[in-house]
Structure 1
Amino acid sequence: MGTGTGTDTAPPAGRASRRRPRSASAEETGRPARRRLLAALCLLTLLLGAFAGWAYAQTRALEDDAATGNTALTDAARTSEVKGAAGKAVNALFSYDHADPAAEKKAAATYLTGKAVAQHRTLLAPVLAQAQEQKTVVTTTVTDSAVERIDGDRARVLVYADQSSTSTAAKAKDAANYAGAMLAVDLVHRDGRWLVSALDTFGG
């Protein structure tokens, strides 16, 4: 009876011997896999850290280049020169006297280059179409300006101006008109002077 009990309750030696090697084999197989996963995660962390450091350095370099490349932030004399050139050009380009139409052509030839030639012609076309009939006199005066950037021989200036338009024609409905204007003026430095290379208007 005691022998039968021992035989019934104790696991067969052969079965136990088969289970232990199977369990040990699973652990041995799992450990290298976990090591490889941990190594991969560590490598990914290092790569991400390196990329973050590189990206930060590149961002700072771009910011530094923009700050040092924009002379408007570092050269007060150059900035003043550009503001003066933009103001003088806008005053001349957008003023018109029906009694002296040659002055407008001279201003265009003096201050304009590139696509600004066509842009100026388009902007002034409504005035020129009726100037002789209505005896129009337009006076433009720059009241303020801000240099957005200066990069080598190129610059961009925001210009604020007051405009008055008067007519001496008897049939003109409005003898005088006043308005404000805002323009973005691109300039290029050529042959020792600043020329207007592009004009953008923002209404008035």
Structure 2
Amino acid sequence: MPTPRHHLNRQRRRQALAAAPEDTAPRPRASVGVLTGPAPGAGRRPAAKPVRETSGAPEEEAVASGSGPRRLVPLVVLCVLTLLLGGFAGWAHGRAGELRDDPARSNTALTDLARTSEIKGQTAAAVAALFSYDHADTAPFEKAGKTLLTGKAVEQHRTLLGGVLARAAEQKTVITTTVTDSAVERIHGERARVLVYADQSSVSTAGTAKAGGKQSKARDQGVYAGAMFAVDVVHRDGRWLVENIDTFGR
């Protein structure tokens, strides 16, 4: 049977419940075991702050105006490079045409080594035969004049050796010419120009000396000289013939 004290305690509890604010939301319970997953909200990036809207049209225009020139720079550079490359291509094409048309560029003396060697060899042999003379055997000299000369070189050769041949029989002269070096200046098709360096000796055997009333032959010491001249040669019938002799005004 309830006592007056029990009634008093029950009444106090009712008054306390009536005075407390209503809270119907369930309270979270703390986990007691090991976490098997991330806590609520863990690993999430903070939400981006909203962009403050202002009357910032000038700022947007500034950004746009700043990016505009930067975008135009590569285009301008590309246009300039295109113009430069186009100009260079045109210049190179024109220059190539000039080089092809330049006679000096068509010289094959340095590119056709076999032909250059052939010209040097035949020219050296021709010069040695044309400018060597033996009073005791004139046949090689005469044959060289008939077979190794052509064009105006025939008359040039006769003029150069005319005075020597006039005295050769009397002085019994022996002339020996040896080509020491040569260089092919140019080759144009069937024609070439060769610079020649040669040593030449001239010895006379006509001198006499009296010894015991008898005459005996005396050989002089001879004359030795170096010569430099150029010859123009032309290719005919499988060999190179001398068609011009250039003594450089001497």
Classify the TM-score, shorter chain: 0.5 to 0.7
Aligned to 1:13: none
Shift in Å at residue 133 of structure 1?
A: 0.5
* Residue 176 of structure 1 pairs with residue 222 of structure 2: yes
Gaps of 5+ in 1: 1-49
The CA deviation string for residues 135-166 of structure 1, in whole angstroms up to 9 with x for no partner, is 10000000000100000000000000000000
Shift of 1:113: 0.4
Does the 8 A contact of 2:205 with 2:220 survive in 1? Answer: no
Specify whether residues 131 and 58 from structure 1 end up closer, same or farther in structure 2 by C-alpha distance, changes over 3 A only: farther
1:129 aligns with 2:166: yes
Q: Which has the higher helix share?
A: 1
Equivalenced residue count is 152
Q: Distance in 1 between matches of 2:96 and 2:156?
A: 38
Please list the CA deviations of residues 33-92 of structure 1 after superposition, one character each: whole Å capped at 9, or x if unmatched.
xxxxxxxxxxxxxxxxx9xx78x8656533344355211021111100011111010000
Report the aligned-residue RMSD: 2.5
4+ residue segments displaced more than 2 Å:
56-68, 171-175
Report sequence identity in percent.
68
Q: Is the 8 A contact 1:142 1:161 kept in 2?
A: yes
Unaligned runs of 5+ in 2: 1-86, 209-217
Could you state the TM-score of these two structures normalised by the residue count of structure 2?
A: 0.56
Higher relative contact order (CA 8 A, sep 6+): 1
Choose 1 or 2 for highest CA Rg. 2
Q: Residue 97 of structure 2 aligns to which amino acid in structure 1?
A: A
Following the alignment from structure 2 to structure 1, what is the Cα–Cα distance between the partners of residues 185 and 138?
A: 33
Q: Provide the TM-score with structure 1 as the length reference.
A: 0.68
Q: What's the secondary structure of 1:71's corresponding residue?
A: coil
Tell me how far apart the structure 2 counterparts of residues 58 and 97 of structure 1 sit (CA, whole Å). 58
Cα distance between partner residues in 1 of 2:177 and 2:249: 15
Alignment partners' CA distance in 2, 1:108 and 1:62: 41
> Does residue 146 of structure 2 align to residue 100 of structure 1?
no
Counterpart for residue 59 of structure 2:
none
